[in-house]
Structure 1
Amino acid sequence: MTDSSPTTAAVRAPRSRSRRTDQTPTAAPLPADLDALLRRMRFPYLRAAAPDVLATARAQRWDPAEVLRVLLTEEVLGRDTAGRRTRRKAANFPTGKTFASWRPDDSGIPAATQHGLTTLEWISRAENLAIAGPSGTGKSHFVEALAHTAIDHDMRVAWFTLETLTSTVGRAKADGSVARTVARICRADLIIVDDIGMLPAGADAAEAFYRVVDAAYERRSIAVTSNIHPSGFDTIMPKTIATATVDRLLHHAHVITTKGDSHRLQQALAGHGVQALTS
């Protein structure tokens, strides 16, 4: 007896319409009433896949349950992809750097530490991450790559520099919505504050940073990058509030120190990243 259930390739067929062979059945458009129902139910990905799936199902005599499974799988995959795209846009990443362009052997972060952090288990435990070291040693790249991986695992991410965080909280002060704004930021599973210490931080920056760290404490994960160790934050912001912030930030934290010369400077000295001038 021949098995007529769809294979993995058949399940994915609706996403490869341009590669239809002569043996692939012609997909008839959906009946108008069914199309209207799917629009009303807001199943756009199922509706788009349905003509090809139904044509294949008729030709291969799929079990009705398999047809339903394939169609619902298309809808779930489509929604997941759209959701990740939305979360990536909302995160407001600065450059879009991922692990695809990361060179682990060139990093000063130990390989075992890199592997442990990429599992994202620390985020599920609401632990923090602090990476300190000279400019150009890959701190922001690594953290952004972790953030993209978190989104791929359906987590929410919020990305700030200390300056943009200060501006966000400062605008909320104007209309008395600081508590709501901080609560909205803390809906993210991972909150990133990048490049702390590049510029002096005044009282407003210190307050904004403290509010988020305090609200996220033992509830959400915060990752910070800085050219100075967190223990030295009191050199760039008021000592009292810096001490309270660092106390909460480092209580459940992975602290990493990077070393070495700037990767950007090394590439510049080697002539990488520019095209030769011609006369």
Structure 2
Amino acid sequence: MTIQATLELMRELRLHGMLEALTQQQEQPTYSGLGFEQRLAHLVNAESSHRDTQRLQRLLKNAKLKYQATPEAIDYRHSRGLDRELMAELLTSSWIDRQQNLLITGLTGTGKTWLGCALGVQAARRGYSVLYKRTARLLEEMDVAHKDGSIAKIRGQLAKTRLLILDDFGLSVMNVRARSDLLELLDDRVGTGSTMMLGQMPVKDWHSFINDPALADAILDRLIHSSHRISLKGDSMRKQQPTVSSS
């Protein structure tokens, strides 16, 4: 088989990482001095790296994060209530393996959404499926799904997502169906995934906000049990860093 035929076969088999690496080997004389095993290892490593990159890009696309924030850009300089030790643990994403939740609260502009998205990016880097949704928007979608018969499908998709990020919790009053849907959503995720809740309202006020003692007890039991908490403080990050969007 000629080298051109090999390249074509790699393209047909979608071995794009290997294809690029083999083309590189053909073009650069540096590789001519390497043995067969070394050149083969280079091709295999290139294909593995390519697939990892493709997987990450797919996970990030499906996550629909509001910001493509990066963990490396997290700002610890301002007095926002960020505990470096806790952040170091969260960035390992081991809490997702343990199906634990994360509750991030703080006034508008303190960086809740940006920080949540940065942790979402890190989770995707670790290979976890991630999905970002505004709480009110998701509950609206579930309400529509009840009417068109697709609610079971949506619940199934949400249950399988390893990290579900629900932003702006507490901004919109929930009706009876919304409260029930939120409970069902969280119940489906017990033992299967982690939920990150972002909101301006302190956690201590969530029970009264839900405005149904029985459902509030059930919802908070599933959210708060074995959860990590971050309470962001300080002035708006928009004032301190006008080029960085936070909410």
Q: Quick check: 1:150 aligned with 2:123?
A: yes
Superposed, which structure 2 residues align to 1:132-171 within 5 Å? 132-171=105-144
C-alpha distance in 1 between matches for 2:29 and 2:180: 61
Matched-pair contact (CA < 8 Å) for 2:135–2:166: yes
C-alpha distance in 1 between matches for 2:229 and 2:152: 29
- Give the counterpart of 1:184 among 157, 171, 175: 157
- Structure 1 residue 95: Cα displacement: 2.1
Equivalenced residue count is: 240
C-alpha distance in 2 between matches for 1:119 and 1:88: 18
C-alpha distance in 2 between matches for 1:233 and 1:129: 15
Long gaps (5+) in structure 2:
none
| CA-to-aligned-CA distance 1:186-235 (integer Å, 9 cap, x gap) | 22221110111122222333233222211111221111111123342233
Counterpart for residue 105 of structure 1: 77
Long gaps (5+) in structure 1:
1-29, 274-279
Counterpart for residue 185 of structure 2: 212
Counterpart for residue 221 of structure 2: 247
C-alpha distance in 1 between matches for 2:99 and 2:32: 49
Counterpart for residue 79 of structure 1: 51
C-alpha distance in 1 between matches for 2:200 and 2:31: 63
The aligned amino acid for 1:110 is D
Q: Quick check: 1:65 aligned with 2:37?
A: yes
C-alpha distance in 1 between matches for 2:141 and 2:44: 40
Q: TM-score, normalised by structure 1?
A: 0.78
C-alpha distance in 1 between matches for 2:4 and 2:22: 13
C-alpha distance in 2 between matches for 1:110 and 1:93: 23
Change over 3 Å in CA distance of 1:78–1:197 after alignment to 2: same
Larger radius of gyration: 1
- Give the counterpart of 1:93 among 60, 65, 69: 65
Q: Quick check: 1:261 aligned with 2:232?
A: no
Name the SS for the 1:180 alignment partner.
helix
- Structure 1 residue 55: Cα displacement: 5.0
Matched-pair contact (CA < 8 Å) for 1:162–1:209: no
C-alpha distance in 2 between matches for 1:49 and 1:81: 15
Name the SS for the 1:256 alignment partner.
strand
Q: Does 1 or 2 have the higher relative contact order (CA < 8 Å, sep 6+)?
A: 2
C-alpha distance in 1 between matches for 2:27 and 2:227: 54
User: Percent same amino acid among aligned pairs?
Assistant: 25
